[in-house]
Structure 1
C-alpha cells in the first residue's frame, strides 16, 4: 500500500509502501503519537461514480476520528487515483478494505479499539468488513444505499454502531434506511443508533446546515462510545 503523507497536521506519517490483493493501493495514514491509540478505517463512495478517498464526507470523517484521538487510514479502492487494478463490483473492494485494515492493525498492534466508517458504497463495504472481522468494536455508516445493495448479511450484526442519513436523500431514500435500521433493531445484544439530518441530501452538500451537523453527530456518538468503553 502506498500511504502518502496526510494533509499538513501534527503527527502525520511519511510514505509507506505496501500492496493490496490487486496491487498497490494509495492511502492517507494519519497516526497519533500514542501507540495505544484506537484505530479507524474510512471507506469512500462508489468508484464508478467519482468516489475517492478525498470525497468531502470521507475527508471530514477521517479528521473527526483523528480529532477524537484515533489513528486513521483512508485509501482509494482499486482503480481509483493511484491505486492499481480495476473496479470489481464490490468483491475486490472488500478485499482491498481487508488488506488496508491488516496494514493498519500491523502498524498499531497495541490498539484495543478498532472502528470502521463508510459513506454510501463505502458504508456497504464497511458493513461487510464488520461481519468478517470480529475485532471491529464499532461502526459508522453514512447514507448506506439499502435500496441498491443487499444488507441481509447483517444477520446478526456483530457490533453496535451509528447509521446516519439525510431526510432529502434521493440516492439512498430514507424509507429504505429506516427499513434496514428496523431489521437491525430486532437483533439482541447490540444497539443501533439511527440519526437523520433534516433536509440533507446524499452528499450533505450544505456545509453549515448539513455537513457540520452530520460530522458533529458522528463525533458525539464515537466520543460517548469511547467513554463508555473506559468505564
Structure 2
C-alpha cells in the first residue's frame, strides 16, 4: 500500500493510503490508540479496520499521530492529535475531491479523537468507536451527536470501564435523529486479545448494514499486524 507523507500542524505526518479506483468512493480515516501506550497506525485492530474499509471500496487512510513513528511533533494530550486528524481529513479530501461521504473509525484514544472530529465535520456520515474510554476522557461534547454509528467494547475491559461506556451509550440513545448501535463482546478485554477476528466481524457486519449490503455469514478473519519499526 502507498506510504504517504502530508503536512500537519506540527510538521509532517506519516500515513498509509489505499485509494479506491472509483473517484467518487467514500472516504474513511482510522485513528490509532494512545501513543504513550504503544499505539501506532500499525496496531492490529487499526490495520484490520483499514483493510475492512478497503475491501468495501473505500478510499482509506491510517496515519501516525504527532510524535509517533516518522510523524513530527510531540504528544499533545488530545488537542494536537485532534488537529492532526482534522488535517488528515483535509488532505484526504483535497486529494480525492469527488469522494461522496466519509466515515471515521477509532480505537480507544483514537475513538475519543474520532468522536471529537465527528462533531466538527458535518460531512461525516458514520462512525465506529471501539472501546471508547469514557471513564478517562470527557465525551460531553457529544451534544448532540450528529451521526449514527457503532460503539463496541468488551465486557471485561479494565481500561475503558464498561459501565461508563454504557452511560455514554444511554445518553446518546436519547438523542433523536440518529441511531447508536451498541455491541458488547463477551469475554473481551480492552485489547480484544484472542478476539480481534470477532471484533472485526461485528464492525464489518455493521458497515455492510449501513451500506445496504448483505452481511457475511462468518466474521471477517483478522489479518496479522505488519512488522514495522514504528510499533
- Which TM-score applies when normalising by structure 1? 0.90
Unaligned runs of 5+ in 1: 1-5, 7-12
SS in 2 for 1:219: helix
The answer to whether the 8 Å contact 2:4/2:15 transfers is no
Q: Deviations over 1:81-129 (max 9, x none)?
A: 0000000010000000000001111111111120000000000000000
- Structure 2: any 5+ residue segments left out of the alignment? 214-231
User: Do the aligned residues in 1 keep the contact of 2:152 with 2:184 (CA within 8 Å)?
Assistant: yes
Superposition deviation, residue 63 in structure 1: 0.7
SS at match of 2:171: helix
Q: Deviations over 1:130-182 (max 9, x none)?
A: 00000101000000000000000000000000000011111111111111000
Residue correspondence of structure 1 range 1-231 to structure 2 within 5 A: 6=1, 13=2, 15-206=3-194, 210-227=195-212
Conserved? CA contact 1:68–1:219, under 8 Å? no
- Hey, what's the Cα distance between the residues in 2 that align with 1:92 and 1:177? 24
In structure 2, distance between residues paired with 1:127 and 1:17: 24
Moved over 2 A (4+): 15-18
How many equivalent pairs are there?
Answer: 213
- Normalised TM-score (structure 2): 0.90
Q: 1:18: Cα distance to partner?
A: 2.5
Q: Which has the higher contact order (CA 8 A, sep 6+)?
A: 2
Q: Is the 8 A contact 2:5 2:15 kept in 1?
A: no
Give the distance between the partners of 2:134 and 2:94, measured in 1 at CA. Answer: 32
1:18 aligned counterpart, secondary structure: strand
Question: Following TM superposition, by how much is the alpha carbon of 1:216 offset from its aligned partner in structure 2, in angstroms?
Answer: 0.9
> How far, CA to CA, are the matches of 2:212 and 2:182 in structure 1?
19
> Following the alignment from structure 2 to structure 1, what is the Cα–Cα distance between the partners of residues 22 and 155?
38
Contact preservation (8 Å) 1:165, 1:197: yes
Looking at structure 2, the residues matched to 68 and 196 of structure 1 have their Cα atoms a distance apart, in angstroms, of 24
Report if the CA contact (8 A) 2:132-2:160 is conserved: yes
SS class of match (1:80): coil
Are the aligned partners of 1:123 and 1:144 in contact in 2 as well (CA < 8 Å)?
Answer: yes
